[in-house]
């Protein structure tokens, strides 16, 4: 009986200690979150209002006509002067853009898309919005921002504070796997790595 009581005492104490430790941990998490919120270091997107542009076709606001036939796509607006834009540009540097992403550079003042040159952002889906014409039409005055296109129409807009949020917002493209082995006569181009 004494042994059982001793075990019950130990288990009771351990359970209370565990509760104290977990309470301290949660308390710590809450404090860190509070500090980050105060310092504006929380990675959170803010929805942006597209106004009258919501629901119109991509080409109607000056975006590439190819987007009118896109099932789902994301247009990323980067200014060449904001710090977060440069962080995102650095993650896209030198490589091919994700297949559903179109990049629009917003040159500020007299500069000529320096962010694209600096981070080697090249390709058909990297464009320069001279004079902020498209951004102004969409009412975007905060960068980095992204516009989601669904079935060729502008669906929603949001801020993109970090690369993590960019990749979270990117529409996923389902890979098309052939049901059977294709013959060599099919017009398929093998993927090769260029040196």
Partner 1 sequence: MTLGALAGGAAQVGLAAVFVAAAPPKVLATAELTYTLERLGVHPAIARAASPVVVAAEFLTVLGLLVSPRAALPRGLALVLAAGFTAAGMKALADRERVACACFGAFGRSARLGWRQVRLFPAWLLLVVVAQSHPPEWEATFGLQVLATLALALTVALLATGVPLWSRMRGDRIAIRQEPAIEPAGLVEAG
Point out which residues bind partner 1 (CB under 8 A): 1, 4-5, 8-9, 11-12, 14-16, 18-20, 22-27, 29-30, 32-33, 36, 41-43, 81-83, 85-87, 90-91, 161-165
**Cα–Cα distance, 86 to 78 (Å, whole number):** 8
Output 3 or 178, the one with its CB closest to partner 1.
Answer: 3
| Least distance between partner 1 and beta carbon 53 (Å) | 28
Contacts of 47 (CB under 8 A, 6+ apart): 156, 157, 158
**Cα–Cα distance, 148 to 125 (Å, whole number):** 15
**Cα–Cα distance, 195 to 188 (Å, whole number):** 21
Output 18 or 188, the one with its CB closest to partner 1.
Answer: 18
Output 31 or 69, the one with its CB closest to partner 1.
Answer: 31
| Least distance between partner 1 and beta carbon 132 (Å) | 17
Would you say how long the chain is, in residues? 195
Output 86 or 153, the one with its CB closest to partner 1.
Answer: 86
| Least distance between partner 1 and beta carbon 25 (Å) | 6
Q: Nearest to residue 47, comparing CAs of 163, 134, 170, 147?
A: 147
| Least distance between partner 1 and beta carbon 163 (Å) | 6
Positions of E strands within the chain: 47-48, 72-79, 101-106, 126-128, 145-150, 153-159
| Least distance between partner 1 and beta carbon 183 (Å) | 46
Output 27 or 49, the one with its CB closest to partner 1.
Answer: 27
Tracing tokens 């200014």 back to the chain, one arrives at 79
């Amino acid at each position: 009986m004494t042994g059982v009581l001793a075990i019950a005492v130990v288990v009771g104490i351990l359970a209370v200690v565990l509760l104290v430790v977990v309470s301290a941990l949660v308390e710590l998490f809450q404090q860190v979150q509070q500090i980050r919120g105060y310092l504006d270091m929380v990675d959170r997107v803010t929805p942006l209002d597209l106004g009258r542009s919501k629901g119109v076709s991509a080409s109607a606001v000056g975006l590439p006509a190819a987007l009118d036939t896109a099932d789902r796509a994301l247009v990323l607006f980067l200014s060449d002067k904001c710090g977060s834009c440069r962080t995102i540009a650095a993650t896209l540097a030198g490589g091919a853009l994700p297949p559903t992403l179109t990049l629009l550079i917003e040159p500020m003042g007299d500069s000529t898309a320096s962010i694209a040159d600096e981070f080697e952002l090249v390709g058909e889906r990297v464009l320069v919005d001279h004079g902020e014409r498209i951004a102004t039409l969409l009412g975007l005055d905060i960068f980095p921002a992204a516009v989601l296109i669904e079935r060729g129409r502008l669906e929603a807009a949001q801020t993109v504070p970090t690369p993590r949020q960019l990749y979270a917002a990117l529409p996923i493209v389902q890979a098309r796997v052939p049901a059977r082995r294709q013959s060599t006569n099919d017009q398929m181009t093998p993927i090769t790595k260029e040196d």
